């Protein structure tokens, strides 16, 4: 199951705006989006694929929001380390609201890193000279009533490697993941294709 990253965005040419406003609500309960399904606590995963701590990921997210030239943004999480580990990132651009939510992992640190990487990879796809029927952030605009769109994780997350991994590390990770994902080894056709697509994207340099 892919981490819960739901919701869409139009990538626009940056314009000069007042400084981005960041707000991190400090509370004992998070305002979890009604359109995002929570991962049962028994199904949340422990992972060691992210080495960055919470503070570093928050700093990286802040820099990413500046690159996107948003009007304002918020990072919502539960105070302390023993509560609900999910995070919600919300932002507004030209009056349109967007959000991503992730609670797939057992720690806020990893859920925040996953969210940041998804936003970063989605933003970087706008640099490619390819036209599609939808904008790059079509999976992050807050859905209308009854509409839910699941966003695919970044290729780094699929292959379980860090964004700064070299080609050899990516290749080794791909060989392991594609073997496990193969239908003959208990995987699925969808997962097998997703692993292959992630590897091809990184080989092409699309996420660098």
The per-residue pLDDT string of the chain (208 residues; one tens digit each, 9 = 90 and over) reads 444 444 333 333 333 344 455 555 444 568 888 778 888 888 899 988 888 999 999 999 999 999 989 999 999 988 766 688 999 999 988 888 888 899 999 999 999 999 999 888 888 776 666 555 455 555 455 444 444 445 557 788 888 888 778 888 888 988 988 888 888 888 888 788 888 888 887 876 554 4
What distance lies between CA 98 and its chain's CA centroid?
Answer: 13
Torsion of Cα atoms, 9 then 14 then 15 then 19, to 10°: 80
Same domain for 46 and 96, yes or no, is yes
Same domain for 84 and 135, yes or no, is yes
Same domain for 158 and 63, yes or no, is no
**Integer-rounded Cα radius of gyration of the chain:** 17
Contact 52, 115 (CB under 8 A): no
Same domain for 91 and 162, yes or no, is no
Same domain for 164 and 120, yes or no, is no
Q: Which of 164, 172, 168 has the alpha carbon at shortest distance from 56?
A: 164
Number of domain units in the chain = 2
Rounded Cα distance, 119 and 66, in Å: 12
Same domain for 31 and 100, yes or no, is yes
Same domain for 62 and 92, yes or no, is yes
Same domain for 160 and 142, yes or no, is no
Q: In this structure, what token pair is assigned to residue 182?
A: 């193969």
Rounded Cα distance, 87 and 84, in Å: 9
Range of the domain at 96: 1-152
Same domain for 116 and 166, yes or no, is no
Same domain for 130 and 163, yes or no, is no
Q: In this structure, what token pair is assigned to residue 82?
A: 């023993």
In degrees and rounded to multiples of 5, residue 82 shows phi and psi of: -105, 0
Same domain for 192 and 174, yes or no, is yes
Rounded Cα distance, 152 and 192, in Å: 14
Orientation of helix 167-181 relative to helix 189-203, angle to 10°: 170
Inter-CA distances, 204 with 8, 32, 67, 175, 198, Å? 25, 36, 23, 17, 10
CATH number of domain containing 158: 1.10.287.110
Q: Which of 201, 165, 168, 200 has the alpha carbon at shortest distance from 50?
A: 165
Same domain for 26 and 38, yes or no, is yes
Rounded Cα distance, 134 and 51, in Å: 33
What is the model's pLDDT at position 22? 53
Query: Can you give the length of the chain in residues?
Result: 208
């Amino acid at each position: 199951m892919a981490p819960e990253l739901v919701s869409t965005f139009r990538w626009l040419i940056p314009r000069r705006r007042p400084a981005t406003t960041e707000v991190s609500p400090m509370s004992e309960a998070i305002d979890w989006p009604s359109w995002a399904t929570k991962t049962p606590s028994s199904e949340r995963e422990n992972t060691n694929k992210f080495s960055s701590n919470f503070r570093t990921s928050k700093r990286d997210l802040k820099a990413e929001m500046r690159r996107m030239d948003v009007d304002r943004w918020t990072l919502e999480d539960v105070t302390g380390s023993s509560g609900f580990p999910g995070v919600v990132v919300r932002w507004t651009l030209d009056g349109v609201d967007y959000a991503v939510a992730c609670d797939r992992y057992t720690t806020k640190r990893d859920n925040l890193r996953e969210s940041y990487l998804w936003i970063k990879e989605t933003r970087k796809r706008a640099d490619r000279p390819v036209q599609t029927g939808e904008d790059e952030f079509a999976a992050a605009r807050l859905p209308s009533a009854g509409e839910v769109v699941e966003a695919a994780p970044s290729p780094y997350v699929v292959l379980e490697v860090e964004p700064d991994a070299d080609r050899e590390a990516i290749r080794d990770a791909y060989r392991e993941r594609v073997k496990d994902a193969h239908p003959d080894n208990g995987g699925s056709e969808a997962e097998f294709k997703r692993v292959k697509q992630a590897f091809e994207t990184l080989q092409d340099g699309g996420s660098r």
